[in-house]
Amino acid sequence: MTSKRIHSDASGSRRMAWMDWFGLIALGLLMVCSLVLLGQLLNLDMLDNKYLLLLMAGILGGIFTLLAVKLCGPLAAAGLGWLYFALMGLIAVLLGVFGSIFNTYAGLYLPKDNDLLLSMPVPVSSLVAARLSGVYLMGLMYSAVVILPAVIIYWVTVGVTASAVLGGLVLTLLISLAVLVLSCALGWVAAKISQKLRNKSLVVVLASLVFIGLYYFVYFKAQSVLQDLLANAGTYGAQIRSRAYPLYLFGSVGTGSGAAMLAVTAAVAALSLPAMRPR
């Protein structure tokens, strides 16, 4: 009877610990969403506002470092380092796209200073390259605060080897490029839609509120999903590897797999060509 009570108390403590972790993540991402929304409403250039950048980097970096510490040990010990990097990598891609998509459609597809810039003796290719560099830096900033702590925690947990270091750096680069491609594609869609709307600020507000609502829906589901994932990591890992092999390759890049690096790099390069083509 006593052992059952102790086991029940331990399970309850673990559930409370998970709720605390996810509560921190929810609060942090809600603050970031609010900051992005505020920047859009006030027409702030996120790349020029160093205090806002430092605040967001500090909040997100701390939160996802804690999440990486929680996930890395159990998954790495089970030989599922690729699953750890797949989870953290997908979070990095989603956050990077959300953080840069508004900047993409406003700065790349619907800039207000196009006429002025085109009247200057500057090649169009240079202007496009400058715009793309801004989009890339914005996406890199958001995705790096997730994937860089994940990579460092993995090195600390598993050990620093040449393959692990190379894999972590390549994964970070590929995620930033994937974010750039997705931001350009979705930014183009957002620009097309906004051209047909009158009150664009209201659309930004509504889109952000919808995102926050969807996020909290996923958040409440993710608590139980991740708990179950860690408890049955081997089973889910085998299923993901057999049914979603590209996701396995994506995560294997972070562990230092040479074949995965080549395959995922080729896939990102193939997706970049049509996405970056002028429209």
Residue 207 CA to residue 213 CA, distance in Å, equals 10
Please write the tens of the pLDDT for every residue from 189-200: 777 776 676 665
Q: Are 207 and 131 in contact (CB under 8 A)?
A: no
Please write the tens of the pLDDT for every residue from 28-68: 555 555 555 555 444 445 545 556 666 667 777 777 888 88
**pTM score above 0.85:** no
Choice between 85 and 205, residue whose per-residue pLDDT is larger: 85
Q: Are 82 and 255 in contact (CB under 8 A)?
A: yes
Residue with tokens 């609010």: 34
Residue 53 CA to residue 214 CA, distance in Å, equals 24
- Token couple for 5: 């009570």
- Give helix 162-194 / helix 245-255 axis angle, nearest 10°: 130
> Looking at this protein, which amino acid is placed at residue 134?
G
